[in-house]
Chain A
């Protein structure tokens, strides 16, 4: 039995605010042995990141470690001076953050950044630093490290940037690395690569790792042990396989049950099965709507090209051959897609695949450069030089409920604005109408005079859903509506969408990068890659028997939870 590398006992990190102390971390104890991988799992606000920051001594004012001890190789870390902590930070313990775009300095080359990190703890010459930088990049599998070492962060993709951040964290052969959601901002396939590389590196170097994540499946694929956090406390800890297959604590069970990958497709998810009120009856004309199952929203050969418009002087320069024309980006490159009435069509792809652009064309927010988008045979947008959306029967739900609600309007006005403008209701009926919609999405109608910032992310997404549905649409384009939400909130929103879709006979285009959510919710799936649809078909068919190489790669990259051996 070796001595533990890190021993955290009864750690309490509190933040003093005007509204009293916020107990972000409230009595956390755990140990890590050398070379062990600990997964620290929890939803947002559970204190998992603050635990990580406390260990490495990066707690900002007004936060402070109130009590408890953090022992690294027997040495107490709490109460050390800033300079003593600097000796340890980066050398014995290092950290990898969520967003590599924010942690790498955009105006310094990779070589310089690695040299600075080296110089922080040892005396080193320029040639030696360069050699070490190249070796460090090679270690994290960056191709052509001799060339890439002179690059700047913006010349790398997100995955490559995160590899650089990991390379910097590994420079001094630390005994412990703390990774705070390092793959959350990355695509599934990139995440899969980084996960497998990280596994190899940790085994190779014998480094202990704390992997902080909200994603149980990611943790399952990497960690030896798992600690589940909630409200600043660890509710359950144990061997990874044990915790994930035989959870003992109710919270862990709930978290696992909320995952769409563990439920039967189309069923309500276990969490948040709240009885919501029935939505108000539709008043818009429904008689011209075709029967369920017939083609409804038809996209034909849609193309969307982005090109920065050239100014007068620039276009002259281009004509004279002095300047290169602005590059053309074909975000959507000839897509035909049919949404049948009443079905849920999943649109899956990684970032930059054009799925959001396609969704916005379907919703009439962007006009296609070429091709048509028709709803029930009628164009969604008017033609001409400045096209405007002319139908109200397609509505949209956006990804980020913090950005998609106007912060200067009361939520009642946000919901009523569209229906009043389009005379679905009168101003006098608005309060009643808004109240019924709020009830239908599971919010208290009395809250209608509040502002969006007074609500949580999940509540805001409910408001956004009410706003879209209050327009009484037939088709709703959902652009990653659950991507920025916690697992249990995600389950509630998915349940709400399933319920409302059944009650209102809605047809949905569901855009997502999360394959398990799509599988759960969608009847048909279209896979997008580089502006084109590479594969399309029934959800079960595609998931069980993918044809296209890209689809196969995508499905393999999804981290899976170990199944309980019943």
Chain B
């Protein structure tokens, strides 16, 4: 008889859904490429010495003056598009994970404490969050990004502000359910301090739904960032994320130079769809109602 740990059971169940397994591989691959960008990318797109204006806007497969093949073509400044996409993914991923992570922490804290404290405090906090959720995230992020100006920290702030409410809502729901359970009453009857009850008892048990929301929200943070960058209120031009690459190629779309916009777009879609598929599968696996 083989010893089955919860993790190995989780993994085997996960890989039984082929779509999700492929999506997970794609996500891991993209993350690995993004992290290892300087080693993987054929060209350093930030190094202005590498850019040759004569190579600008060349179609995929063009052999550049420096002797290597631009598989996905070049952009308006003669940058190798493949390298730009790899570096762009790196920036997008960084933004998404940092903003998503901080939003996770803030949201989990706010939601759990609202559920634990209850009463007026809970109503107040949850009504503020409802109010915020009733505005489209893109609008909120847009307003904040416009108010704070351009820059990565400003963008992260905007993303956090637009996203924490989803985590808070989820954490509140999970924690309200956990709050009623006997083990919390058992902890209160010891008595343990409120901080300990929240951090050691309620929060760990509220984690599964939060992890699900987390994967989906990282994906949505990345697309939000791309949207903001596309609209010109995101990252400065010195840090070209995927959204900005798409925006840069936008003006050439009608002149037949499709690749400058389309390939970064495909990379973005591939990443976000894969992340969402992974998130959906985790959600289904953690939801006992959907279990067979």
Real binding pair? yes
**Within 8 Å CB of B190, what residues of A?**
392, 395, 417-418, 421-422, 471
A398 touches B196 (CB 8 A): no
Answer whether residue B4 sits at the interface, using C-beta atoms and an 8 A cutoff.
Answer: yes
Interface residues of B in 162-192 (CB under 8 A from A): 181-183, 185-192
Answer whether residue B291 sits at the interface, using C-beta atoms and an 8 A cutoff.
Answer: no
Interface residues of B in 18-58 (CB under 8 A from A): none
* Distance of A309 Cα from B182 Cα, bound (Å): 22
Which A-chain residue is minimally distant from B188 (CB atoms)? A365
**Within 8 Å CB of A467, what residues of B?**
186
Answer whether residue A18 sits at the interface, using C-beta atoms and an 8 A cutoff.
Answer: yes
Answer whether residue B15 sits at the interface, using C-beta atoms and an 8 A cutoff.
Answer: no
A404 touches B123 (CB 8 A): no
- Chain A 130-174 interface mask (CB, 8 Å, partner B; 1/0): 000000000000000000000000000000000000000000000
Q: How many A-B residue pairs have CB under 8 A?
A: 68
* Distance of A398 Cα from B194 Cα, bound (Å): 20
Answer whether residue A216 sits at the interface, using C-beta atoms and an 8 A cutoff.
Answer: no
- Which of B197-205, B228-236, B247-255 lies at the interface? B197-205
- Give, as a whole number of angstroms, the nearest-CB distance from B176 to chain A: 14
A464 touches B186 (CB 8 A): yes
Interface residues of A in 516-544 (CB under 8 A from B): none
**Within 8 Å CB of A422, what residues of B?**
190
Interface residues of A in 395-439 (CB under 8 A from B): 395-396, 398-400, 403-409, 417-418, 421-422
Say whether chain B's binding surface is mostly helix, strand, loop, or mixed: helix
Answer whether residue A360 sits at the interface, using C-beta atoms and an 8 A cutoff.
Answer: yes
Given contacts A311-B123, A404-B183, A421-B196, contact A364 B204 (CB under 8 A): no
A421 touches B185 (CB 8 A): no
* Distance of A152 Cα from B181 Cα, bound (Å): 28
Answer whether residue A203 sits at the interface, using C-beta atoms and an 8 A cutoff.
Answer: no
B186 touches A389 (CB 8 A): no
How big is chain B's contact interface, by range? 20 to 34
Answer whether residue A277 sits at the interface, using C-beta atoms and an 8 A cutoff.
Answer: no
A398 touches B193 (CB 8 A): no
**Within 8 Å CB of A396, what residues of B?**
185-186, 189
Which B-chain residue is minimally distant from A19 (CB atoms)? B1
* Distance of A421 Cα from B200 Cα, bound (Å): 13
Residue of B1, B190, B192, B204 with highest tally of chain A CB at under 10 A: B190
A421 touches B193 (CB 8 A): yes
A20 touches B1 (CB 8 A): yes
Answer whether residue A388 sits at the interface, using C-beta atoms and an 8 A cutoff.
Answer: yes
* Distance of A309 Cα from B4 Cα, bound (Å): 47
A406 touches B201 (CB 8 A): yes
Given contacts A19-B1, A311-B123, A408-B204, contact A365 B181 (CB under 8 A): no
A417 touches B185 (CB 8 A): no
Which A-chain residue is minimally distant from B12 (CB atoms)? A18
Q: Which of B4, B182, B188, B204 contacts A389 (CB 8 A)?
A: B188
Answer whether residue B136 sits at the interface, using C-beta atoms and an 8 A cutoff.
Answer: no
B204 touches A421 (CB 8 A): no
24 residue pairs bridging A and B, Cβ less than 8 Å apart:
A19-B1, A311-B123, A364-B189, A365-B185, A388-B191, A390-B191, A392-B191, A394-B189, A395-B190, A396-B186, A396-B189, A399-B182, A403-B181, A404-B182, A404-B185, A406-B187, A406-B201, A406-B204, A417-B192, A421-B190, A421-B192, A421-B196, A422-B190, A467-B186
Using a CB–CB cutoff of 8 Å, the interface residues on chain A facing chain B are 18-20, 309, 311, 360, 363-365, 388-390, 392, 394-396, 398-400, 403-409, 417-418, 421-422, 464, 467, 471
Other A-B contacts than A309-B119, A365-B185, A417-B192, 20 sampled, CB-CB below 8 A, are: A20-B1, A360-B185, A360-B189, A389-B188, A389-B189, A390-B191, A392-B190, A392-B191, A398-B182, A398-B186, A403-B182, A404-B185, A404-B186, A405-B186, A406-B200, A418-B190, A418-B192, A421-B190, A421-B192, A467-B186
Closest 10 CB pairs of A and B: A404-B182, A418-B190, A389-B191, A403-B182, A396-B189, A408-B204, A406-B183, A398-B182, A365-B189, A404-B186
